[in-house]
């Protein structure tokens, strides 16, 4: 990377890192982060819904700087910065001059996916980083002659394998790439043994998690089916997939990445990457996936389109205007607004609402708990509720929470027929499970924010059977 282009790219990455760092402590933990914190105290080779890397990171960061949401999110901030730098490197590899490299970095930093994933500790954050690094390596091996630099294939295999320890979706990138090469070439790249050795390396690194999943009946497939059926708050219908994808990337970045598709298609060596994008788009729409599953290809597309856009439009002001018009992504993805004004953002960015109000949630649970007999257990409907109780409840004298949701289900249930304060569990399940059932009111979110916990029911339940017998009905994946 020429000195000027490198400097500009690193300045953009630094600016993004500063923005993420300054905003990471606002609002609070996301429900998934509360789950990761607890999962970090139950380290294993796998969980029903995720590989082990992110819970391990949560454990590490919470050990180094306890009870700090800023520290917890620092790995994601660094990952987002690395994605921006890689976008600049991809642009240079594709022949971009310093201005094209700077635009690649700036458009990637302005991308809604990068901002959102850089803000939260998430499996998707490291999936985004892994896809971007693998994309960079694939561009290089495609531009090389067959087998000229096998170490690049091997490095791609290592990166893909490590990424699979955070999120398995990178396997779709590899499969889509093979499909693209088989469909439009250059097929000679697959005639070499090195890509297959790389795939073997990725599988070996991912093997502990894959074996864990196999030994537990592949629960992640059940999670995927629940997502496809709309069970997740961020699930998308097949009809809304593409509109949401355009919105979440950033609608004003569309000209840049469309130029990227054109640029890659015009290069016979790189054309397979366009087919990879198309194959994965069709696959994810057909399977009912979430739009962000494609996030990892957009740094590549933005990098590929930056210099062609600058060359094609012939107006220096076009790129800055597109970036300025993309600025509202900051408000949508980052906690910039006061909590009282955040509901319109939640309508677009579901995850924003899930970072608000957890201390108040636990305080209300504790107030209800104080009215109940000593020794009462706490059972919650989902891992976010349980994680919040485990994170904040100790100071209010609350016991550890139990939940049948995903990984929490394996971490224990109440003993015997211990009465429980039940949070958010469906009334129909409680009516058939409790010998005595008494409502204790509903929870409210700060400023009546429209998130998942606003209006959650609290109940007192004396179980009709032992919790060991009831627990399978309280266990669910999704």
| Token couple for 118 | 């850089």
Instruction: Name the DSSP class of 440.
Output: E
Of residues 32, 131, 42, the one with CA closest to residue 82: 131
* Cα 113 to Cα 250: distance, rounded to the nearest angstrom: 9
* Cα 33 to Cα 28: distance, rounded to the nearest angstrom: 10
- 265 by Cβ neighbours in 10 Å (0-12 / 13-18 / 19+) ranks as middle
pLDDT digit string, tens, across residues 162-176: 999 999 999 999 999
Instruction: Band the pLDDT of 56: cuts 50, 70, 90.
Output: very high
| Token couple for 353 | 């609402």
* Element holding 1 (H helix, E strand): none
* Cα 373 to Cα 172: distance, rounded to the nearest angstrom: 52
Instruction: Band the pLDDT of 231: cuts 50, 70, 90.
Output: low
**pLDDT over 70 (residue 145):** no
pLDDT digit string, tens, across residues 89-142: 999 999 999 999 999 999 999 999 999 999 999 999 999 999 999 999 999 999
- The distance of Cα 96 from the centroid of its chain, to the nearest Å, equals 30
Q: Are 270 and 142 in contact (CB under 8 A)?
A: yes
Beta partners for residue 59, in sequence order: none
**pLDDT over 70 (residue 235):** no
Of residues 29, 38, 28, 27, the one with CA closest to residue 383: 38
**pLDDT over 70 (residue 278):** yes
* Element holding 157 (H helix, E strand): helix 150-164
Q: Is the peptide bond before 186 cis (omega within 30 degrees of 0)?
A: yes
Instruction: Band the pLDDT of 202: cuts 50, 70, 90.
Output: very high
* Cα 167 to Cα 162: distance, rounded to the nearest angstrom: 9
Could you report how far apart the first and last alpha carbons of the chain are, in Å?
44
**pLDDT over 90 (residue 148):** no
- The distance of Cα 83 from the centroid of its chain, to the nearest Å, equals 14
Q: Are 248 and 291 in contact (CB under 8 A)?
A: yes
pTM reported for the whole predicted model: 0.93
| Biggest CA-to-CA distance, the chain | 75
Q: In what order do the strands lie in the sheet with 420-423?
A: 402-403, 377-380, 420-423, 457-463, 434-442
For residue 5, give the 3-state DSSP assignment.
Answer: helix
* Cα 276 to Cα 180: distance, rounded to the nearest angstrom: 5
What does residue 379 show for φ and ψ, rounded to 5 degrees? Answer: -125, 130
Letter string b/e over residues 291-321, b meaning 16 or more CB atoms within 10 A of that residue's CB:
bbbbbbbbbbbbbbbbbbbbeeeeeeeebee
Stretch among 289-293, 312-316, 434-438 having the lowest mean pLDDT: 312-316
Q: Are 32 and 122 in contact (CB under 8 A)?
A: yes
| Token couple for 273 | 């990457």
- 32 by Cβ neighbours in 10 Å (0-12 / 13-18 / 19+) ranks as buried
């Amino acid at each position: 990377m020429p000195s000027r282009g490198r400097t500009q790219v690193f300045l953009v990455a630094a600016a993004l890192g500063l923005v993420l760092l300054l905003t990471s402590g606002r609002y609070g933990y996301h429900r998934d982060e509360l789950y990761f914190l607890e999962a970090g105290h139950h380290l294993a080779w796998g969980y029903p819904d995720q590989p082990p890397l992110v819970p391990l990171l949560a454990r590490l960061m919470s050990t180094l700087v306890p009870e700090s949401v800023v520290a917890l999110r620092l790995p994601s901030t660094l990952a987002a910065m690395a994605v921006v730098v890689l976008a600049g490197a991809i642009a240079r590899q594709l022949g971009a001059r310093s201005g094209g490299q700077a635009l690649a970095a700036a458009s990637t930093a302005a991308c809604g996916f990068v901002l959102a994933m850089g803000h939260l500790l998430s499996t998707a954050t490291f999936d985004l980083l892994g896809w971007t690094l693998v994309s960079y390596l694939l561009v290089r091996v495609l531009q090389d002659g067959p087998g000229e630099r096998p170490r690049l294939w091997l490095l791609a295999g290592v990166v893909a394998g490590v990424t699979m320890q955070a999120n398995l979706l990178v396997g779709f990138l590899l499969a889509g790439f093979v499909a693209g090469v088989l469909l439009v070439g250059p097929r000679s790249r697959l005639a070499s043994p090195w890509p297959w050795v790389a795939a073997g390396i990725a599988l070996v690194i991912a093997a502990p998690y894959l074996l864990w999943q196999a030994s537990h009946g592949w629960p992640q497939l059940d999670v995927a089916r629940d997502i496809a059926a709309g069970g997740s708050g961020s699930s998308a219908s097949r009809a809304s997939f593409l509109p949401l994808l355009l919105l979440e990337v950033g609608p004003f970045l569309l000209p840049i990445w469309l130029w990227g598709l054109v640029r890659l298609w015009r290069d016979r060596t790189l054309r397979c990457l366009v087919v990879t994008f198309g194959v994965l788009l069709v696959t994810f729409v057909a399977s009912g996936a979430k739009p962000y599953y494609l996030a990892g290809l957009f740094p590549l597309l933005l990098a590929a389109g930056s210099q062609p856009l600058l060359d094609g439009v012939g107006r220096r002001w076009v790129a800055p205007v597109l970036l300025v018009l993309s600025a509202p992504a900051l408000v949508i993805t980052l906690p910039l607004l006061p909590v009282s004004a955040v509901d319109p953002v939640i309508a677009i960015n579901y995850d924003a609402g899930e970072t608000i109000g957890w201390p108040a949630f636990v305080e209300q649970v504790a107030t209800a708990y104080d009215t109940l007999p000593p020794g009462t257990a706490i059972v919650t409907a989902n891992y976010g509720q349980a994680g919040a109780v485990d994170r904040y409840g100790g100071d209010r004298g609350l016991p550890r929470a139990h939940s049948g949701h995903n990984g929490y289900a394996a971490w224990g249930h109440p003993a015997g027929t211990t009465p429980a304060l039940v949070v958010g569990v469906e009334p129909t399940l409680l009516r058939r499970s409790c010998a005595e059932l008494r409502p204790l009111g509903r929870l409210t979110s700060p400023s009546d924010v429209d998130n998942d916990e606003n209006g959650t029911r609290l109940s007192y339940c004396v179980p009709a059977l032992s919790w060991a017998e009831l627990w399978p009905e309280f266990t669910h994946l999704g």
